[in-house]
Structure 1
């Protein structure tokens, strides 16, 4: 199966700014009131979920989201996720299905942590899921640029270059 086969099978669309392909699969019917979410500036659904596919050309560029995200590996080739927190600490993990190689089938990204995901060298595609709670809204997405992030985290300049869309 190719990336195009998966895109067609799950009716995925290009994901603006971040890169990759996606489709919303779930949005909770209930919501959390804005008064309980002072950092988000409005009501949010309890949670939301998407299918998310990346290819060598369409990877997840560095970005931050104001809600917690849980990524799940479903199919394809393993990916490396990088996370940079506000203190500049770098965390990396490989999402995949080979537990003997220490792949993780799931990883949590805390709110406001910079993150990006790319296929490991030689990979063709990976299908992931991402569950967000409180639910995702585009106004909670912050796209990272090379100039901005390399000034904030100069110790990670080369990694930032690799994980940003230039």
Structure 2
């Protein structure tokens, strides 16, 4: 944990930022931006959220029909699992330690299975995500089952897949 965030914890951040549980995915969120412009009659052009994960509430594996940009704000480092359409998997490490290869921002391509969790014994991570077109709850898609994921992606990733399912 970075020293300047030592006084913060998940409960304080949830209260300070007015975050609410994101029941279908896990974690806590608050929409911070919704573009007034629309694509057609109903789809907003862009949206952004604060997103907080804890050891008890991570991002369950899902996919979305639009690119999603993750932004790391503060807290402990995060593993962002990507299960790609070519049956390859990748873990992106988001966090403050750039010298150790962590990144502050990463884009998940449309249609890629994704999930995220804290690394090790982390206590919380405050992230943001931005989507264009804007996120809509009907866009959220869970995988057909854990067996589907385990049979389609490399064994080296089975532990994190099972944890995030």
TM-score by length of 1: 0.88
Contact 2:89 2:154 in 1 (8 A): no
User: Which residue of structure 1 lines up, in the alignment, with residue 89 of structure 2?
Assistant: 90
Q: Does 1:139 align with 2:146?
A: no
User: Which residue of structure 2 lines up, in the alignment, with residue 161 of structure 1?
Assistant: 162
Structure 1 residues 73-125: Cα deviation after superposition (integer angstroms, max 9, x where no partner):
00100101010111111111110111111110000001010001000001000
RMSD after superposition: 1.5
Q: Distance in 1 between matches of 2:124 and 2:30?
A: 16
User: Which residue of structure 2 lines up, in the alignment, with residue 17 of structure 1?
Assistant: 24
Report the CA distance between 1:147 and its aligned residue: 3.4
Q: Distance in 2 between matches of 1:83 and 1:149?
A: 12
Contact 2:88 2:154 in 1 (8 A): no
Contact 1:17 1:143 in 2 (8 A): no
Q: Is the partner of 2:63 in helix, strand or coil?
A: strand
Report the CA distance between 1:151 and its aligned residue: 4.0
Gaps (5+ residues) in structure 2? 1-7
Number of positions where the alignment pairs a residue of Structure 1 with one of Structure 2: 156
After TM superposition, the structure 1 = structure 2 runs for residues 101-116 of structure 1, keeping only pairs within 5 Å, are 101-116=100-115
Q: Distance in 2 between matches of 1:99 and 1:135?
A: 29
Q: Distance in 1 between matches of 2:132 and 2:83?
A: 20
> Deviation above 4 Å: which 4+ runs of structure 1?
none
User: Which residue of structure 2 lines up, in the alignment, with residue 37 of structure 1?
Assistant: none
Contact 1:79 1:95 in 2 (8 A): yes
TM-score by length of 2: 0.89
